[in-house]
Amino acid sequence: MTTDDSRPARRRITLTGISSRAWEHPADRGALTALRELRGFDDVVKAFFGMWNERGFRLAYLAGAIRVDHRQYPRVYQRFTEAAATLDVAELPELYVEQSPMINGQAIGMDKPFIVITTGAVEKLDDEELRALLGHEIGHVRSGHAVYKTIMIILTRWAASLSWMPVGAITLRAIIVAMYEWWRKAELSADRAGLLAGQDPAASLRLLMKLAGGGDLSQIDTAAFLEQAAEYEGGGDLRDSIHKLGMTAWSTHPVPVARASELRRWIDAGDYGRILEGDYPRRDSDGNASVTEDVKAAADSYRQTFNTSQDPLVGLLRKFGGGAADMAGSAARGARDWANRGRGGEGETPPAPPES
């Protein structure tokens, strides 16, 4: 089993009172707002809250996995408590380790979400990388992602037999596609939470490298990996762009090289450093957050990505004018209208999903 190496321990700054808004990617919040706007989505959520909770999921892991505490997987438990303390999370979610050679983790549940990581993660990650992975999953829980992820798991697993759902097949398919888009953006948010939990950019990058190529980093070069990321994002021709769309349309996660590039951009933009200096939103101000501002930030994020992307297909679209930017603006206006309907004005936020 991989244990901590000889690297000196890093002093981590406790981010007292930090709100999940500090690490949430604008496109994460925007995609979730757009998802909630879809006709029939409210019915889906109500149906699942009425018929499902995490009890069955939790029982499955209670029966077939190892529940982590100071007696079982104490090394994992120590990294877990450290990540939670750094993110100022007082109440730890339950944590399980399941048997799988793959490096993976997930947050599951609606009323009281819990976290599951694999034996592959325990064995192949050093302490800093493991702390980043656990911080990633804590970020999912704190952002309320686990609720929608649980719905997504059930929808995709049993979509063919969900005739009892109060929405049509076409509507259900549209909801699933929108949820995939949101899920990929939620992963970018959680990557930031993992970095904040570990406060070791090199470890967060190593984690993504190991997700891409296994646990032996002696065979992998960081600079070459980032070159891969740049080639993926900007290389090739229109055929490659179309292949990328096919690769990601039904995927829950962005590809590891894209996640590495996105995290690097967040660091280089100075946002990570500002948070460590204490410049971040606090939980006690969450009630004052504006849906309109979230939607505007999401639209700005999509527009900036469109304007700076090196992808050949996006470059072709830019030649034909601001069509995609206009589409982003239209989506933002629609989401803002949805947010204002029945919520007493644009300064109020929709009800937040329950957290642990």
Which DSSP category does 160 fall into?
G
Cβ count within 10 A of residue 274: 12
Q: At what angle are helices 26-37 and 41-51 packed, to 10 degrees?
A: 90
Q: CA-CA distance, 103 to 120, in Å (whole number)?
A: 5
**Residue 137 annotated among the catalytic residues of the structure:** yes
Q: Nearest-CA neighbor of 130 among 83, 72, 188?
A: 83
Q: Which tokens is 23 given?
A: 């690490």
Start-to-end C-alpha separation, the chain: 31
The number of angstroms, rounded, from the C-alpha of 229 to the middle of its chain's C-alpha atoms is: 19
Q: Which of 54, 82, 129, 137 is the catalytic position?
A: 137
* Helical ranges in the chain per DSSP H: 26-37, 41-51, 55-64, 74-86, 119-124, 127-142, 145-158, 169-198, 201-213, 222-234, 238-248, 256-268, 271-276, 291-308, 312-319, 323-340
d(CA 118, CA 96): 8
Alpha-carbon distance values, 103 to 158, 188, 194, 229, 348 (Å): 25, 17, 15, 20, 40
Q: How far apart are CA 9 and CA 16, in angstroms?
A: 21
Tally Cβ neighbours within 10 Å of residue 187. 22
CB-based contact 159:171 (threshold 8 Å): no
Q: Which residues are catalytic?
A: 137
